[in-house]
Structure 1
Amino acid sequence: MGTYIAPFNPQTNYLDTTTYIAPSNLVSFSPVIRLTPRNWLSFQFKSPLFWRASTSDSVYGPSGAYAFSNLHGGFVGIVPQASLTLQLNRHLTWTQYGARFIGSDGLRAAGGKNGSYYQSNFVFRF
C-alpha cells in the first residue's frame, strides 16, 4: 500500500475532529488548552497544524488518497477546533464540536477547499 492507513473508527478525533485528513503521510503538531470551570462543564481548544511526511506522496482522507493535481509543498493546513462538554447526569454526556479546516496555499492551488464542521454527541453510559 505504500503508507499507513489507520483502522476505521467513527470517533477518531485524536488529531482532527473533522477527519478530513487521515494520519497517512502526515506529521502533526497541536497545541491544546482544556478548561474545566465546573465539574460538569469543560471546554477544549486545539489547533493542529499538518505537514506531509513525504512531499512525493499525496494527502489522504478517510477513504484513501485525495487526487490533487500539482500539489506542491509540505504544509497541508491548520484546523482550529473547539469542544464543549456537559455532564448532564451520571450516565449522560452532551458534547458539541466545531472546527474549520483551513488549507495551505499549495493545497488550495491544487484544488483543495476550506471547510467547516459541526458535530453534536449524546453519550449514554451504563
Structure 2
Amino acid sequence: MPFPSDSTPDVEVERLIERERTRQTTGLQLIASENFTSPAVMRATGSVLTNKYSEGYPGKRYYGGNAVVDEIEALAIERVKKLFGAEHANVQPHSGASANMAVYQAMLKPGDVVLGLSLDHGGHLTHG
C-alpha cells in the first residue's frame, strides 16, 4: 500500500481523528490530563513549534535556535504573572521529569544506583 505524501491528507487517519474528537466532545472526561484543549491551543500545538526542542529557560537553553520560542515563553510568563498577580511563573509543561519518575518508581528499589548523564552528553535535567 503506498503511503500518502506529506501534502496529501491521510483519509484513514483523519477519519480516526474525527472519531476521537467526537468521543471527546460528547462525553465527560474526569481525568485531569484529558482536559479538553481550546482551539487556540490546538492551533499552537499543531504549528511549527512542535518541531522545536527547547529544554531550559528563556535565554538559557541547551540548544540553539530558540529566539522565537523564548519570546513566546516570555510572553506567556508575563501573561500568567499578570493574571494571577504573581511575581514569578513557570509555564512549562510536565514532560521528561514525570516520565523519568515513573520509570524510577517502577524499576528501582530504595538504594539502587542510577547512571545519569550530564545534559551536554545527552542526559536530562532529572538525571541529577
Q: Give TM-score scaled by structure 2 length.
A: 0.21
Relative contact order higher in (CA < 8 Å, ≥ 6 apart): 1
TM-score by length of 1: 0.22
By percentage of residues, which structure has more helix? 2
Larger Rg: 2
